[in-house]
Amino acid sequence: MSDTPLSQCRVVLVRPQNSGNVGSTARVMANLGMSDLVLVAPEANPRDQQARQLSTHGEFILARARIVADLGEAIADCTLVAGTSARKGGLFRRQSVVLPEEAAEQLVDVLPSGPAALVFGPERTGLTDEEVARCHYLIHIPTDPAYPALNLAQAVALCLYELRRTWLRKVNDRPLSTHDPVAPFEEQERAFERLRVALEEIRYLRGVRGEALMQALRHLIGRAGPSAMEVKLLIGLARQIRWCAARMTGEEKD
């Protein structure tokens, strides 16, 4: 497997149900220069006969695929996370919808700084709203409305093709980045949680729209690709908001 920034792109299959789709995903990853496969609570067995048969020349990817219990564990060290969904309506989904080529642009830009992830949901239901909320972007492949749902392995192939095509276009003329590396997802999550608590205490996040407002803030900050120093600034901002809230109410906050 060639050593390029594309090798930093992680493919995450959440609760995959069909072992053939897992094998086909390994094959297309090998085709397009990626090898980091993570399965979240899989129902399918990635090492059964069907998976191996359909992974032609991608058997090594199946053999070293990691299995984890939840999405958070799969993406904890990632600087950017892009999910996929045939559905794009509702408060959680419509705020961050992009085409595959738009997501590829963002992924290619951050891959030199560290791992990034493409996340695909289970065949029957796709990603839940809670899982979508953990993604910086939501990729929507513009299929025919009469039959919008793609096979899982087909969706993987289309997204990885766009990623490789974008990387090939940029590889010869992209200037060296002068920006600090993007903070890992786990650090960003810590800042988001601190902000959530602080904004709840000043009653900015309240009522039925509170969760949607927090989701909008997550995407606003996540798309900026905050560095570790900027994440610390956000945590400091949250701490100061809580301090001010405590002064106004006469209560001390941790």
CB atoms closer than 10 angstroms to residue 4: 16
Q: How far apart are CA 87 and CA 57, in angstroms?
A: 33
Q: Which of 114, 142, 170 is the last residue of a domain?
A: 170
Q: Concatenated DSSP letters for 131-197?
A: HHTT-SEEE-----TTS-PPPHHHHHHHHHHHHHHHHHHHTTTPPPP-SPPBPPHHHHHHHHHHHHH
Per-residue pLDDT of the chain (254 residues; tens, 9 = 90+): 556 789 899 999 999 999 999 999 999 999 999 999 999 999 999 989 999 999 999 999 999 999 999 999 999 999 999 999 866 555 555 667 889 999 999 999 999 888 999 999 999 888 998 898 889 999 989 888 888 788 999 999 999 999 999 999 887 665 545 567 888 888 898 999 999 899 988 888 887 788 888 888 888 888 888 888 999 999 999 999 998 888 887 755 55
CATH of residue 140: 3.40.1280.10
Helix count (H) and strand count (E) of the chain? 11, 7
Q: How far apart are CA 197 and CA 204, in angstroms?
A: 10
Q: Which domain holds residue 212?
A: 185-248
- The candidate with the shortest Cα–Cα distance to 223, out of 94, 105, 106, is 106
Q: Mark whether 154 and 223 lie in a shared domain.
A: no
Q: Which of 170, 203, 218 is the last residue of a domain?
A: 170
- The candidate with the shortest Cα–Cα distance to 38, out of 16, 6, 20, is 16
Q: Mark whether 236 and 144 lie in a shared domain.
A: no
Does a structural domain hold residue 175?
no
Count: domains in the chain: 2
